[in-house]
Structure 1
């Protein structure tokens, strides 16, 4: 059964804009594997005429032959189908010279496979674009998953396509409000699942087979036959050659080494050596560099940004031997302790924008002190200091949180933000109405469920 298409409204609107504009259009759509690029394109081309070509990682002559067959089928051209075509230049010259009376699409899915096996396709496409296609009725959509190749060869200033593309679109993960539609789980379990795998549609489809988070991770992460058991290996091997070095760096960060020097020491490398690896993973969205908000410093820390990588390196990587021998007891893993950090990121990125629209949000730390979230709104000159707790809090514990926040706020306080508020987001907060009556902002999972349209 094909599931209903979820969200991507902005992306569909932009693609439709490109379709409606006159002349040739060239759109580059890219994003990590399993993010839903092919499904988005399939939705977009419904009711339209054109060529939909799915590329495979095979030898270049076979790729040309497959593309030739797709073009011949669209034009019903038996002669084209019978010709012996050896180069991309020949087939794109054919497309450029073929009259096209009405708007049509040319979708090349997994375009990176073509670049990888024969980079001359870029120059061939550039030549055809410059001579004929730019003024034609073709709407060309190039789609790719190998982000390194897409960035270096299709999107960079040195690419033959530079200056020709009319739009490029990075397809990102779904936010929780849409991701939850894939999951038939209780709200707390749906949130746990999201914090473990993120908003990647194909991952969510797999999780949607389970009605409980514990069953899902036990069968799909903690089994050597599970869907996710080798997933990070596969992604890294598609993008990088020095697999062990990248694995070591990610493992170092998962172990709590977030400063460049600490990461390098953990990996047995010189600090200067690790920066190219970190930059490569930042570009692919696996790792991110974080700077404290409202602090004038360039000394950032590195975190694992990709949700699946974060969960996998925290639980699967250190327990591979037990998983292989079927001796792992998932109940023994400190999962609730783990969820504190991803819950904190979730609150900053998805909850705070719903509570405090227009605010820019980040984490603050300085000289051993840390505040989970600081949200500032320059338009109303307001600053909000917040704490996130995955578990439940009593009224007394909640008051303690606010007391500590008020103490730390003195080190951040600035005359530009005369209005100060304090925020607590936790799994459950006893006496939250009493705290709200005192002027505090208090939200727990029940409130978040309402914010996310669940009740």
Structure 2
């Protein structure tokens, strides 16, 4: 069960969906559908396999592969043969001539007297390859499948396409409930790896909460011990997961991958990204950024204040991919020739500065879960503020809306160093930056890895405090 640390909530959600099939509110339509999405290699299929194991309901599990439509359909009888549906022979009488005939035969094979489960994994491949697939699915769900006591799980890694499947004016709109499978959170990572709070945050930043990476991280081992081990193995999940995800996500989009590498190297502004990506034209860069943000691989953020700004900055949204692009991807040849020691030395040299910025999105997510806290209210939006030349830079800004706030509700600083607490110099800098942003006495917050040595703050948080955001 180690691979499912932290998946209790997801298993409970799927169990509740199956219970609604068993005791439906509308007996004429007992079928339920769940649209389950999450980024690649996050453990969606493993989660569903564990659910099927514990639910012990008859099922059929089909996985699309991204092949042409005819080849995808040819795999359907194989899934039927491996299924545990009691009347699976009905699916094997003759090969389906299309997805409509496949789904109609499936409806006949589903039991009437007890719940069953049908899983279609990587649905976006079928949406892209099969003409009218969404309409076929909607028709056969409405007319046939939903009238059976079946739980239909539609799984996908392309987040934008899975969201589109349930969007307004699309055939399958409002037929299914949406469920997002995220990474293991920092508290779960800490429990799984038997690490203290500060070390758990480090492990979360490196692994991104990917179960495959966490599974190969020995319990109790510190960051440097794990990295030394992983960098000696060219097939470690830490090294290969990003390559496989990017190959599947952007098979024919070389420019998007080039732009992603530029952002991963540390460039954040439009102009600097264009330069680092080889001096590409601004229109080309705009299109590439649009693709990356649509797929949720890159986040584009504006300064959060009461004044409008055009100083948008970009970052790799996923922490593991951010680490890989910065330290591992560009140096795979070194690792392959058994010089992981060179890569490890490079990581050690740049670790403090990289981690200091990488931890900020994690801190913002924790705050969103923790607030209200002391004098700090719950806020709709938590972001950051910066000027073009970084003369003023504030790590944490709580406000009533974005990107232009009516009211700023708190400001804060993140100091994430090994042996340097948040002190009087840091507090003075935060006061100075607050004065540059607003003349109101907005409450101040400090988040520090090594403690706080000053008073006068509305709240202070350390690693253990952050992890409590996920304990519930």
TM class, shorter-chain normalised? 0.7 to 0.9
**Unaligned residue ranges in structure 1 (runs of 5+):** none
Q: Which residue of 1 aligns with 2:354?
A: 338
Instruction: Give the direction of change, closer, same or farther, for the CA distance of 1:85–1:392 in structure 2 (3 Å limit).
Output: closer
- 2:416: which partner in 1? 390
Tell me if structure 1 keeps the 8 A contact 2:384–2:397: yes
Partner of 2:397: 374
Indicate if the aligned counterparts of 2:39 and 2:158 stay in contact, CA closer than 8 A.
Answer: yes
Say whether residues 1:363 and 2:384 are aligned partners. Answer: yes
Report the equivalent of 1:441: 459
Aligned positions of 1:56-75 closer than 5 A: 57=65, 59-70=71-82, 73-75=84-86
Structure 1 residues 218 and 302, CA gap change in structure 2 (3 angstroms):
same
Q: 2:236 aligns with which of 226, 229, 235?
A: 226
TM-superposed deviation, 1:442? 3.0
Deviation at 1:144, TM superposition (A): 2.0
Residue of structure 1 in register with 2:198 after alignment: 188
Q: Could you list the per-position Cα deviations for residues 243-287 of structure 1 after superposition, in whole angstroms to 9, with x for gaps in the alignment?
A: 532232122113332222332232221111122322222233221
Q: Counterparts of 1:212 and 1:41 in 2: how far apart (Å)?
A: 31
Tell me what 1:400 maps to.
425
Q: 1:324 aligns with which of 332, 336, 339?
A: 336
CA distance in 2 between partners of 1:159 and 1:202 (Å): 34
CA apart distance, 1:61: 4.0
Corresponding position of 1:167: 177
Cα displacement (A) at 1:364: 1.0
Q: TM-score, normalised by structure 1?
A: 0.84
Contact between 2:207 and 2:238, CA under 8 Å: does it hold in 1? no
CA contact (8 A) 2:363 2:466 kept: no
* Alpha-carbon contact 1:55-1:114 (below 8 Å) kept: no
1:344/1:3 CA distance change after superposition, 3 Å:
closer
Gaps of at least 5 residues in structure 2 are: 402-406
* 8 Å contact kept, 2:304–2:397: yes
SS at match of 1:225: coil
Choose from 41, 54, 63 the match for 1:55: 63
TM-score (norm 2): 0.82
Q: Please state how far the C-alpha of 1:349 moved relative to its aligned partner.
A: 1.6
Which range moved further: 188-197 or 329-338?
Answer: 329-338
Residue 269 in structure 1 maps to residue 287 in structure 2: no
TM-aligned CA deviation for residue 119 of structure 1: 4.5
Shift of 1:70: 4.8
**Superposed CA RMSD:** 3.2
Which residue of structure 2 lines up, in the alignment, with residue 349 of structure 1?
365
Change (3 A) 1:4 1:138: closer
- 11 and 290 in structure 1: CA distance in 2 versus 1, 3 angstrom threshold: farther
* Preserved contact between residue 19 and residue 25 of structure 1 (Cα < 8 Å): no
Conserved in 1, the CA contact under 8 Å of 2:292 and 2:298? yes
Residue of structure 2 in register with 1:16 after alignment: 16
Is 1:309 aligned with 2:321? yes
Structure-2 residue corresponding to 1:409: 434
1:335 positional shift: 1.3
Counterparts of 1:3 and 1:269, CA distance in 2: 42
1:202 aligned onto 2:212: yes
Q: Which residue of 1 aligns with 2:404?
A: none
When residues 428 and 325 of structure 1 are mapped into structure 2, their CA distance, relative to the original with a 3 A threshold, is same
Displacement of 1:120: 5.3
SS in 2 for 1:28: strand
Shift in Å at residue 214 of structure 1?
1.0
Distance 1:229 1:276 in 2: 28
Which residue, 104, 108, 112 being the options, matches 1:100?
112
Change (3 A) 1:335 1:222: farther
Moved more, 288-297 or 12-21: 12-21
**How big is the shift at 1:305?**
0.9
